[in-house]
Structure formats: C-alpha cells, structure tokens
Chain A
Amino acid sequence: MTELPVDLLAKSASTGMKEVFSTMLGLEVEPGPPQTQHDRLESFGGIMALVGIGGAWTGAGRLLISPKMACTLAGALLMSTFEGVDEEVLDAIGEIANMVVGGTKTILEEELGPLSLSIPTVIFGKNYSTHSGKVHDWLVLPFHCGGEQIELRFCLMPTHANARAGFQMEAQHI
C-alpha cells in the first residue's frame, strides 16, 4: 500500500480518540467532518502535543487544544483542578496524545504493517509556526468536547522501502 488510506486513518483516529476520552477521562467527544489540508506555514496558539510515527509508514500525530481545554483534560485525567497550564498539565496532555496516537497506530498496523511511536513533545505558546519536511497533506479531524474544539491531525507517508515494495508489486501486475 503506497497511498494514504484516508478513510482508514480517520476511522482509526476517531476510535482511538473516543476510547481514550471515555476510558481515562470520563468524557465524550463528538467527531466532526475530517478534511485534508495541504501542509503550509500557519500560526498556532495554545497547546500542541506531537507524537512521531515510524516504521513501514512515517509521519506524526498532533493534538491541538486551548489552554482552558488542557486544564479540563488534565483535571479529568488526574482527578484534580488546574487553574493554569503548568508542567503537570503539559505532561498529562502529552500522555493523552500518546495514548490517542498509540491507539490509532495499533488499529492502523493491521493494514499498514508494523509502526513505532516517538516520545511525545508538547509545545505551549502564542503565535508559533510549524513546518514538517516533505509532508504534503495533513488529515485534520475536529472533535467537540464540552463546547470546545479539539483538533487531531495526522500525516503519514510510506517509507522508501515500503514505497519501493509497492512499486515492485505494481510492476509485477503489468
């Protein structure tokens, strides 16, 4: 497989998200319509948790939320109350992203082959930009939770060896 299976990715990510929110946070999330967005330099604000994906396919998963939502989610995870974003909140959001991307990865592996995850990185700030080398498209998945929006983004591309194997398979069919 050398084309990004968008439907599979959207379904897997939605399942992963719902599972983490219901099991660990006791919260419901409503998925919105997914869309594909070309990678471009754009400004972000708030909290972005990133988890890299490697293996047969390479890319990343990103969870984007507001500081207020971060405090709500960290509070639900740790059964505590947070008035502002601190190290404990950022650690909790990193772990939530890790579980969401990990759950998505586990479902995707059935179709895409073995994948691995990086350790999560969490960015918190105002008006920052990101750039991912050689990434063309992101699958953007909006979710609604308690009146706020949570955004999950994925980019995935076949690794060189996987793409070569795909081309060889296609060549054999000619």
Chain B
Amino acid sequence: MLDVMIVDDSAAIRKILRRVLDQTDLVIDKVHEAGDGLEALELLKTNTVQLILCDINMPNMDGIELLQRLKAQEDLRSVPVMMVTTEGSQARVMQALELGAAGYVKKPFTAAQIKEKLTGLV
C-alpha cells in the first residue's frame, strides 16, 4: 500500500492526477495534496509517502526548490519525484533531472503518459 503526494497549485490538476492514479495498478492507501512546495514540506513532517507528483511553477516555493530540499533530507531523498508541469524549457527539465527527479511529464498529458512514466517507479 502506497501513500502518494500531489503538489500543484491548481486544484483542477490535483483532481485529474488523483483520477489518473485511481486508474493505475498501484495500490494506493492515501493521496495527500499540497498547493506549493512549502505546504508539501509541512505535510511531509507528519506523513510518509512513497511517491510524489510535483508541478514546477508554483507560488511560495516552486518544484525545483522543493526537489532540492527533498534531496537534501536523509529520510526523503529516496522518494521518487515525478515532475508534471507546463514548463517545457529544456534547461528547466535538465535542472530537475540533474537534481534527481525520477521523470518528467509535460502538461497537457494523457492518463496513458502518466501511467507509462509511473511503471516501474514504485
């Protein structure tokens, strides 16, 4: 059983990603939602997750900074982080992957693209 976190400032995208997760073969116990990086870090103080789906462009703390913070923490650095974002610039994608992102899906996305990227990740 997995606990998953979705980090995106759009409630609509969080809802869509929840629906996509329901369609996968993953056995999910709980989905936590955060509207930005700061909220995600706060939730991670009291919750353990095995997978994070994360936007890049967000207020307060963006996905790149969240990724840096996660990789700097002993107990969180092994959690796979899949970036799901409108950010299509090669530089930003490379930055996320170099920081240790497990993968990258560009919005707009299909459910099949998300499922394919998640296969074998957890």
Q: Which residues of A contact B (CB under 8 A)?
A: 19-20, 23-24, 74, 77-79, 88, 91-92, 94-95, 98-99, 102-103, 105-106, 109, 114-115, 117, 119
Contact = CB atoms under 8 A, between A and B. Distances in A.
B9 A119 contact: yes
B28 to A, nearest CB: 19
Given A23-B109, A24-B108, A91 B91 contact: no
A106 B108 CA distance: 12
A115 B110 contact: no
Nearest to B88: A106
Given A19-B108, A78-B12, A91-B12, A114 B86 contact: no
Contacts of A78: 12, 15-16
Contact of B12 (A23, A92, A117): A92
B19 A79 contact: yes
B13 interface: yes
B57 interface: yes
Main secondary structure of the interface of A (DSSP, over half): helix
Interface in B1-55: 9-13, 15-16, 19
Contacts of A117: 57, 86-87
A106 B106 CA distance: 11
A103 B57 CA distance: 14
Interface string B77-119: 0000000001111010000000000000011111000000000
A102 B86 CA distance: 5
B57 A119 contact: yes
Given A98-B107, A109-B89, 7 more contacts: A20-B108, A88-B12, A92-B12, A99-B107, A102-B88, A106-B89, A117-B57
